Amino acid sequence: MPRVVPEQKQKFENDEMFRKLARESEIKYTGYRDRSHEERVVRFQTEIRDGQSNVAYVASGTNLTLHFPKAEDGFIRSEFLDFDREPGKVHIKSHFILNGVCIIFKGWIDLQRLDGIGYIEYDEEKARKEDKIMRETLEQAKQRLAEFEERQRQWREEQQRKESEASTHHHRFRQN
């Protein structure tokens, strides 16, 4: 099953949800809401360094689970998690597929308040790759379906031939 929809860019540009999420908006860390603020700060920093975090757009309540890929050395590159750009904040970037569209989430979160600003962008490069995979997957499915239909056709012809031979054999047997 393809992971993306056809015409991703069109969906990104025209879908109201994507338009809202593409505007710079207030975001908050949503993990461990039942814990103390101090514990949540520690948990957020641990989670994010481990490669993921849950955030929500405050205005819409849209929740996202963000993933930050680790490099071969086991660390997350500053392209995805940057603690050095501004003291007290982490700048974040995460690529993923949302409702069949490849996007990039970009933003920052205050390390103490656990809130910040975020938005999404259309991920042209990833969309091209996923679109190619989708087309190849659909082409393979069409090919398998055509092969299946050909086998079905051959099987039906074989059954008809056998029935015809049996009928002819039965007819000759009755004449003798």
The per-residue pLDDT string of the chain (176 residues; one tens digit each, 9 = 90 and over) reads 668 888 999 999 999 999 999 999 999 999 999 999 999 999 999 999 999 999 999 999 999 999 999 999 988 999 999 999 999 999 999 999 999 999 999 999 999 999 999 999 999 998 888 788 777 877 888 888 889 999 998 999 888 888 888 777 666 666 65
> What pLDDT is stored for residue 176 in this prediction?
56
> What pLDDT is stored for residue 25 in this prediction?
97
Burial class (CB in 10 A: 0-12, 13-18, 19+), 38: exposed
> What pLDDT is stored for residue 174 in this prediction?
63
Determine if the pTM surpasses 0.85: no
Contact yes or no for 18/11 (Cβ under 8 A)? yes
